[in-house]
């Protein structure tokens, strides 16, 4: 039986790769994406829904239609401008999506971050950790992915990512053994791992660190 997928964050680095993989998949016959603005993409499987994320509860019916909900929402402090705006995108919206998924009784796959912890000193990691903690209290099949630094083509230039790519090229031995989980990972590999995990008949709550994500994608 073919499935229906719902994606929040389909325009992001991981989300865009995930979208194309789902559209090409024989396992999914329908892909619904919730977006701020409709994308210039046409596909017989694709259903685009322009939404106001401040009122995500108004779109509960789309969560009921889906078999699997993928949440790849995420921003940066630089893009969000304020901590409040950052928390909206990286905490409040994903939490609302998870609550809707719980109510619909569906599977929820989330992109978090390496270092996510409620006790983290870094604001970014603390927000991610708070979200994960909230999701652990929900009654849903939960699959959390914690990738290390994401690599891929972005619209904006990121110096840190460029430096890391150079290190990977010339000093790959730095990311072995216990340091393997810190090795930067291609966004397309994260998307592939999320897709493959979504096809598994697992129930419960699971956490995948970056090195595990890399292994699954291979």
pLDDT tens readout for residues 63-81: 999 999 999 999 988 889 9
What pLDDT, on the 0 to 100 scale, is given for residue 167? 52
**Strands laid side by side in the 205-209 sheet:** 46-50, 28-35, 3-8, 68-71, 107-111, 141-146, 205-209
List the catalytic residue out of 59, 128, 195, 208: 128
CATH code, domain carrying 195: 3.40.50.720
To the query of whether residue 124 is one of the catalytic residues in this protein, the response is yes
Q: Alpha-carbon distance 141 to 180, whole Å?
A: 27
List the catalytic residue out of 62, 124, 195, 208: 124
Q: Alpha-carbon distance 162 to 157, whole Å?
A: 8
Cβ 77 vs Cβ 86: under 8 Å: yes
Q: Alpha-carbon distance 35 to 12, whole Å?
A: 11
Cβ 74 vs Cβ 89: under 8 Å: yes
Question: Residue 144 burial (CB < 10 Å; 0-12/13-18/19+)?
Answer: buried
What's the structural domain count of the chain? 1
Taking only the tens place, the pLDDT of each residue in 76-123 is 888 899 999 999 999 999 999 999 999 999 999 999 998 899 999 999
Query: In this model, does residue 171 exceed pLDDT 60?
Result: no
Write down the residue that tokens 């009122």 correspond to.
55
Strands (E), 83-151: 107-111, 141-146, 150-151
pTM over 0.85: yes
**Confidence bin at 151 (pLDDT 50/70/90):** confident
Average pLDDT over residues 145-159: 72
Please, which residues have CB within 8 angstroms of residue 38's CB and are 6 or more apart in sequence?
A: 48, 50
**Averaged pLDDT of the chain:** 90
Q: Alpha-carbon distance 168 to 115, whole Å?
A: 20
What pLDDT, on the 0 to 100 scale, is given for residue 157? 46
Write out the residue range of the structural domain in which residue 34 sits: 3-217
């Amino acid at each position: 039986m073919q499935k229906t997928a719902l994606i929040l964050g389909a325009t992001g680095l991981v989300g865009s790769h995930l979208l194309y993989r789902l559209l090409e998949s024989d396992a999914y016959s329908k892909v619904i994406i919730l977006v701020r603005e409709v994308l210039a993409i046409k596909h017989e499987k694709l259903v685009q829904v322009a939404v106001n994320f401040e009122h995500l509860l108004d779109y509960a019916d789309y969560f009921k239609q889906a078999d699997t909900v993928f949440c790849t929402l995420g921003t940066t402090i630089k893009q969000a401008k304020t901590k409040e705006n950052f928390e909206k995108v990286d905490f409040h919206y994903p939490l609302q999506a998870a609550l809707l998924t719980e109510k619909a009784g569906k599977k929820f796959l989330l992109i978090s971050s390496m270092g996510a912890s409620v006790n983290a000193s870094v604001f970014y990691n603390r927000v991610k950790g708070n979200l994960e903690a909230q999701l652990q209290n929900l009654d849903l099949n939960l699959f959390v992915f914690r990738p290390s630094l994401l690599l891929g083509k972005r619209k904006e230039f990121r110096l840190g990512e460029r430096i890391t790519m150079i290190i990977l090229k010339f000093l790959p031995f730095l990311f072995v053994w216990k340091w393997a989980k810190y090795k930067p990972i291609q966004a397309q590999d994260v998307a592939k791992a999320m897709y493959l995990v979504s096809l598994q008949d697992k129930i419960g709550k699971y956490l995948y660190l970056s090195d595990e994500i890399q292994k699954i994608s291979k």
